[in-house]
Amino acid sequence: MDTGVARVPPEVEAAIKQAIGSNNRAEGAFLLAAIANRATAALHQVARGEASARKGQPEWGRWASLVNASRDAVLRTATCRQAANQLVQSERGKSSGAETNA
């Protein structure tokens, strides 16, 4: 069912699949969280600009709604990125500790 909406570019899909397929699950999770956070930050920036430009116009409300939703998404994905980064750091600490104990 094609609704006329642009699909996700193949290179984005490839980056996501690469992260999912990573042997290091923590690093894969971090990459996914970083992609999500960066994408939502960009979406929020676009939505804010468009909402500001369209004040007083009929579609302003839709853009303002997108601003609010994307702001929430930025905050949530930043938390995901932070948690995934902590997992990566924890794994690195374990592996360097194992090397020094060997």
Does the pLDDT of residue 76 top 60, yes or no?
yes
- Could you give the CA distance from residue 71 to residue 91 in angstroms, rounded to a whole number? 31
Q: Where are the domains of the chain?
A: 25-101
**Per-residue pLDDT tens over the stretch 6-58:** 788 999 999 999 999 999 999 999 999 999 999 999 999 999 999 999 999 99
* pLDDT surpassing 90 at residue 2: no
Encode 50-83: b = buried (16+ Cβ within 10 Å), e = exposed.
bbeeeeeeeeeeebbebbeebbebbeebeebbee
Q: Report whether pLDDT(92) > 70.
A: yes
C-alpha 43/C-alpha 74 separation (Å) is 9
When comparing pLDDT for 69 and 5, which is higher? 69
Residues near 80 by Cβ (< 8 Å), separated by ≥ 6? 33, 36, 37
The pTM of this model reads: 0.82
